[in-house]
């Protein structure tokens, strides 16, 4: 694993701890010589992540739609900034560049992005590890929901267990770097029809 895609909020959130966690994750990646691939912004947790990684000597690649460069205040000091035309192209490019995916706290965009790559893992479209950095229990409710989805048999236990979760950056990176997924076919249940 040499490049890790990180999804995170373009806001700082309600607690200063979120920015501290984003910075710590950036530093941890830099220390391990892991290049960060992210959304290219200079604000919110995105900015805290990138600034900390760069200050620690890390490499950071940003991918951002041209229309959002002014709105999200694109980071001007990155190792590389890749402008794209659409959000779909942004997500595709980030996924192509990365060997693993992590979501820090963030909004519905962050949630949408990490659920999408987790879905792709379930479908075998990639075999790259996917994780959540559960700072301050931010993802507790999502984890409860995913357990509910598993218990209701809409997500297999094997696929459920593929999502790496930790409250600690180093522990999460340890799990991601040691994970090698194999394709587990998604079970398909056929409808039960009753006799007329």
Task: Write the pLDDT tens digit of every residue in 41-61.
Answer: 999 999 999 999 999 999 999
Helix-helix angle 44-55:16-31, to 10 degrees = 40
Q: Phi and psi at residue 66, in whole multiples of 5°?
A: -55, -40
CB 174 within 8 A of CB 164: no
Closest CA to 87 of 76, 79, 95, 99: 95
pTM (2 d.p.): 0.93
Please tell us whether the domain made up of 3-178 is placed in CATH 3.40.50.450.
yes
Residues 6+ apart with CB under 8 A from 24: 52, 169
Average pLDDT taken over every residue of the chain: 93
Interval 84-133: pLDDT, tens: 999 999 999 999 999 999 999 999 999 999 999 999 999 999 999 999 99
Examine the pLDDT at 195 and tell me if it is beyond 60.
Answer: no
Is the model's pLDDT at 196 over the cut of 50?
Answer: no
């Amino acid at each position: 694993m040499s490049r890790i895609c990180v999804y995170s909020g373009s806001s700082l959130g309600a607690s200063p701890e979120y920015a501290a966690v984003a910075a710590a994750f950036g530093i941890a990646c830099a220390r391990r010589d892991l290049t960060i691939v992210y959304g290219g912004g200079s604000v919110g947790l995105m900015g805290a992540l990138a600034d900390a990684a760069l200050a620690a000597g890390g490499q950071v690649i940003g991918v951002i739609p041209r229309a959002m460069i002014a709105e999200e205040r694109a980071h001007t000091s990155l190792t590389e900034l890749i402008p794209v035309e659409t959000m779909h192209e942004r997500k595709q490019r980030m996924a192509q560049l990365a060997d693993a995916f992590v979501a820090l706290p963030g909004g519905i965009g962050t949630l949408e992005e990490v659920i999408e790559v987790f879905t792709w893992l379930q479908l075998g479209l990639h075999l790259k590890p996917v994780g959540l950095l559960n700072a301050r229990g931010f993802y507790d409710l999502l984890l409860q929901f995913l357990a509910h989805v598993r218990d209701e048999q809409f997500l297999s236990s094997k696929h459920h267990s593929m999502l790496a979760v930790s409250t600690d950056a180093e522990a999460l990176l340890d799990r991601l770097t040691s994970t090698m997924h194999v394709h587990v076919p998604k079970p398909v249940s056929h409808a039960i029809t009753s006799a007329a």
